[in-house]
Amino acid sequence: MTSPGRLAAPEVLAFLCRVPLFSRLQETSARRLAAACRVRQLDKGERIFLEAGEAECAYLIRSGRISIVLSSPDGRELAIEELHAGEVFGEVGLLTRKTHCAGAVARSRSELLVIPRGPFLEMLDQEPQLTRRLLEITADRLHRSTSREMALAFMNAHSRLAGYLLALEEQERDKGYITASQEDLARGTGLIRQTVAKALGRWRRDGWLLTGRGRILILDRKALEQVEQGHLDLTLVSPK
């Protein structure tokens, strides 16, 4: 359940100054922003906002992991973005003055800094360099979304899953393994859980990866790259 945070203003200010997006703010702007922020703590699985909901705030992740998701009429979810500490989300609705085009849900216990619409837009007016940086972030996300849409449109199930695993490995390279459940992988690829489980089991038997307790260790990156690129047709390989 959401609970109010207990961060003091100096702690909020110190965190803002460590985030690349806000690190070059003038001191007065940074202090005003810190004073305007609220702290929101979330449990795993808790929703931050719904698709088509009113965009009233921008959010900065202080800790945890947040998924940006699209929902289907039959209740399935597709995770179109996975965000981590130091990343901002929800800002597009404030800039366009429209409702959210996707929902957001906490994938782990998380803590957010919530920035109301007024202070956020005022800060953009006063800090032109911040506007440019925000546009760069938005453009980068658009590029990743376009790549994800192409994968969903043109790749088969195995190619999509292999590509998603490789992308997660790159994001979490500091850990040395991927932290994701079968449900997470299904949401990230638009597949059903049974398809994900079957593919992971086969790749585990082939010695391409190890799985256990929500963790995945890739052992044969080259094999997954071949699957992603469509160079290895798994229907022609006899299961072991």
Domain boundary among 120, 152, 184: 152
Same domain, 22 and 141: yes
Could you read off the pLDDT of 179-227 as tens digits, one per residue? Answer: 999 999 998 888 899 999 999 999 999 999 999 988 999 999 999 999 9
Query: Which of 22-31, 62-71, 99-108, 140-149 shows the lowest per-residue confidence on average (mean pLDDT)?
Result: 140-149
pLDDT reading at 159 higher than 50: yes
84 plus 7 within the same structural domain: yes
55 plus 74 within the same structural domain: yes
Q: What is the pLDDT of residues 72-93, one digit of tens each?
A: 777 778 888 889 999 999 998 8
18 and 129 together in one domain: yes
SS3 per-residue string spanning the chain? CCEECCCCHHHHHHHHHHCCCCCCCCHHHHHHHHHHCEEEEECCCCEEECCCCCCCEEEEEEECCEEEEEECCCCCEEEEEEECCCCEECHHHHHHCCCCCCEEEECCCEEEEEEEHHHHHHHHHHCHHHHHHHHHHHHHHHHHHHHHHHHHHHCCHHHHHHHHHHHHHHHCCCCCCEECCHHHHHHHHCCCHHHHHHHHHHHHHCCCEEEECCEEEECCHHHHHHHHCCCCCHHHCCCC
Give how many domains the chain has, as a whole number.
Answer: 2
Residue with the bigger pLDDT between 233 and 202: it is 202
Among 134, 152, 170, identify where a domain stops. 152
Q: Which of 115, 137, 152 is the last residue of a domain?
A: 152
CATH number for the domain that contains residue 198: 1.10.10.10
Which residues constitute the domain of residue 86? 3-152
